[in-house]
């Protein structure tokens, strides 16, 4: 049957802002302090966002069949008196729902198959206690204690408030897994922006004329700058975890902390896709160009930033960038339906866009502009959901499904049982596209290059003058990597300083901070992950190769007796 323009316009509203919400934490009431015991009951603990809580974990692959048990892929489905029903408690833990309701839209969506559970299930004799406080939608601020800048979320105290209740006599915490930072970095906003661009190109364009719409310029300018916040926020998270464990009587060195990176969820190269870019039915609403850019410049950068924190704080790191390669959404050769439900081999490990519609949703402005004069307006949720065969809740979209959760859990299990200390590894599928979740493998990562400038003795920052220092990043650093300048200096009036960084080879200047006479506080934070999108040029020239000469300039703008010293700096490549 030929699809009409009106139908195509209605389908434009398939993705709401909720579609790409990431995850967070389930909290329990605080209790009086209890103390861990070395050699007591082994315990493992997870905090973080949706990729830790298990959002979307109730789907064994995807099916275009929207009825019944969806070709066996829907783990929430059950048959009662000849009618198919769907129970969220079959896939999400009862404690993850706000007020223990039965709504798909309500709660932290702590999956019964979350990655941390795979770790426990793989070695059942090693663990007697499992805690998963991760919650869908959480930022790092939803992990921190309230008295340390934390915020409650979804009706629950921040996740670290659970530590004192969870870790106690006679428990002995062995592993704390942290999956957080994706929401801080704006990953959901990036996906929403790209879904909108796809809609302009493939839905609005056929009606009003060509749209050559891409999203990655907007992502680069408006969203990628947030990635630098992940460094500070994750660093603070690791420090608070250690503080809480010390209060619980758990000595540092008796446990391990591991930071978990994020997988790419869509194909990278154009020939990796199963379907044409304008295909509606298969629900992969991102252009080929944008998907490639996000994988190479957003997810990769985010994971490298998480790795930089792990190295700085001497904790573990799992790079999951390539964990789903061969099994990403709409990747060439993947299968759907009963074949996906039966085996993880060749199945997609990511939930497709479960369409929904609401006023104010992503792309709604496009529909409103293009609504036919005599069309049914506004469109009704029930009409479009029925027309588009919405299967459950849109928040599960673009999250690891059951197979994806199992794969990430196997990565975590391999890490814990096959490494020691603060190891850094990458996780991938050893069997390729035909591989199953049981064929996940890990490989060691080398250290992140750091180039240090450490003058001895320390240098005075001249009043009403400038100080310049240079670091050379060697040619051996591969193109595509990023650099971060970490400054170590003292000054009682940081507002008197203007600090910039020049990449000589491209002529690009980055302003780390500008002169601000109102700011009379002392310099207190010397770590500045460099944001490539903030240079004095607009639009900023891309730096594909970080190697070369980097000139640091510190200018002191007054001569009033408030002097400082330059203790050193380094450039970390990540």
CA atoms within 13 A on the CB side of 174: 19
What local confidence, expressed as pLDDT, does residue 207 receive? 56
For every residue of 184-215, which 3-state class applies, written as one string? Answer: HHCHHHHHHHHHHHHHHHHHHHHHHCCCCCCC
**Domain containing residue 59: CATH number:** 3.40.50.1110
> Which residues have a Cβ under 8 Å from the Cβ of 227 and sit 6 or more positions away?
185, 298, 301, 302, 305, 529, 531
At which of 411, 444, 477 does a domain end?
Answer: 444
Q: What is the pLDDT of residue 81?
A: 94
The answer to whether residues 428 and 468 belong to one domain is no
Question: What does the DSSP assignment read for 123-169?
Answer: SGGG-SEEEE-EEET--GGGTS-GGGT---BTTB--GGGGHHHHS-T
Same domain, 371 and 293: yes
pLDDT less than 70: residues of the chain: 1-39, 98-103, 106, 120-128, 168-170, 203-212, 355-389, 524-544
Domain boundary among 396, 419, 444: 444
Please, is 398 exposed, middle or buried when counting C-beta atoms within 10 Å of its C-beta (0-12, 13-18, 19+)?
buried
Same domain, 405 and 471: no
43-66 pLDDT, tens digit each: 889 999 999 999 999 999 999 898
For residue 424, what is the enclosing H or E element?
Answer: strand 424-429
DSSP 197-262: HHHIIIIIHHHHS-----SHHHIIIIIGGGHHHHHHHHHHHHHHHHHHHHHTT--TTSSEEEEE--
440 and 466 housed in the same domain: no
Q: What CATH code is carried by the domain that includes residue 556?
A: 2.60.120.260
514 and 429 inside one domain? no
Number of domains in the chain: 2
pTM listed for this prediction: 0.83
pLDDT digits (tens, 9 = 90+) for 505-564: 888 888 888 899 898 888 865 555 554 444 333 344 456 678 899 999 999 988 888 889
The per-residue pLDDT for 534 is: 42
Domain region containing 80? 5-444
Are residues 126 and 86 part of one domain? yes
Task: Tell me how far the alpha carbon of residue 99 is from its chain's centroid.
Answer: 27
User: 353 and 392, same structural domain?
Assistant: yes
Q: 466 and 409 in one domain?
A: no
222 and 338 both lie in a single domain: yes
426 and 474 share one domain:
no
Q: How far apart are CA 284 and CA 272, in angstroms?
A: 13
What integer pLDDT is reported at residue 560 of this predicted model? 85
Report pLDDT for 437: 95
Same domain, 350 and 462: no
User: Are 466 and 432 members of one domain?
Assistant: no
Burial of 241 from C-beta contacts in 10 A (0-12 / 13-18 / 19+): buried
pLDDT at 126 (0 to 100)? 64
- Which residue, 419, 444, 469, sits at the end of a domain? 444
């Amino acid at each position: 049957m030929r699809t009409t323009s009106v139908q195509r316009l209605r389908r434009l509203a398939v993705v709401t802002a909720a579609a790409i919400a990431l995850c967070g934490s389930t909290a329990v009431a605080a209790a009086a302090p209890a103390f861990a015991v070395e050699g007591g009951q082994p315990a493992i603990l997870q905090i973080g966002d949706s990729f830790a809580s298990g959002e979307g974990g109730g789907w064994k692959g995807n099916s275009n069949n929207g009825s019944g048990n969806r070709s066996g892929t829907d783990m929430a489905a059950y048959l009662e008196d000849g009618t198919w029903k769907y129970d969220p408690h079959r896939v999400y833990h009862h404690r993850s729902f706000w007020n223990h309701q039965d709504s798909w839209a309500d709660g932290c969506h702590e999956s019964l198959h979350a990655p941390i559970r795979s770790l426990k299930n793989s070695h059942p004799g090693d663990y007697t206690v499992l805690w998963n406080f991760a919650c869908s939608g959480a930022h790092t601020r939803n992990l921190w204690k309230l008295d340390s800048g934390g915020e409650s979320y979804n009706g629950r105290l921040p996740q670290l408030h659970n530590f004192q209740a969870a870790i106690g006599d006679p428990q002995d915490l062995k592993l704390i897994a942290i999956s957080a930072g994706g929401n801080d970095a704006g990953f959901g906003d990036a996906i929403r922006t790209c879904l909108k661009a796809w809609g302009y190109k493939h839905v609005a364009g056929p009606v009003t004329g060509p749209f050559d719409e891409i999203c990655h310029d907007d992502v680069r300018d408006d969203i990628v700058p947030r990635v630098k916040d992940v460094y500070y926020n994750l660093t603070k998270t690791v420090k608070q975890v250690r503080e809480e464990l010390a209060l619980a009587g758990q000595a540092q060195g008796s446990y391990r902390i591991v930071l978990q990176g994020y997988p790419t969820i869509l194909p990278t190269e154009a020939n990796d896709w199963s379907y044409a870019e304008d295909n509606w039915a298969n629900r992969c609403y991102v252009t080929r160009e944008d998907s490639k850019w996000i994988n190479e410049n957003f997810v990769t950068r985010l994971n490298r930033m998480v790795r930089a924190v792990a190295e700085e704080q001497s904790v573990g790191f799992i790079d999951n960038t390539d964990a789903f390669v061969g099994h990403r959404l709409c990747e060439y050769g993947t299968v759907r339906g009963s074949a996906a439900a039966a085996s993880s081999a060749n199945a997609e490990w990511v939930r497709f866009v479960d369409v929904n519609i609401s006023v104010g949703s992503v792309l709604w402005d496009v529909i409103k502009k293009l609504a036919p004069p005599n069309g049914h307006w506004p469109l009704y949720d029930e009409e479009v959901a029925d027309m588009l065969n919405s299967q459950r809740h849109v928040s599960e979209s673009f999250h690891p499904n059951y197979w994806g959760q199992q794969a990430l859990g196997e990565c975590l299990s391999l890490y814990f049982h096959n490494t020691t200390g603060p190891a850094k590894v990458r996780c991938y599928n050893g069997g390729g596209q035909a591989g199953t979740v049981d064929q996940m493998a890990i490989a060691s990562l080398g250290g992140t290059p750091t180039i240090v400038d450490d003058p001895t003795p320390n240098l005075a920052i001249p009043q009403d003058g400038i100080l310049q220092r240079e670091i050379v990043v060697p040619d051996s650093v591969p193109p595509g990597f990023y650099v971060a300048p970490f400054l170590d200096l003292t000054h009682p009036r940081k507002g008197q300083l203007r600090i910039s960084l020049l990449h000589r080879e491209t002529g690009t200047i980055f302003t780390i901070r500008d002169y601000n006479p109102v700011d009379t506080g002392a310099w207190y934070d010397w770590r500045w992950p460099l944001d490539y999108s903030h240079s004095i040029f607009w639009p900023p020239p891309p730096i594909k190769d970080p190697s070369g000469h980097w000139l640091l300039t510190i200018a002191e703008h007054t001569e009033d007796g408030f002097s400082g010293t330059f203790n050193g700096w380094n450039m970390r490549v990540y």
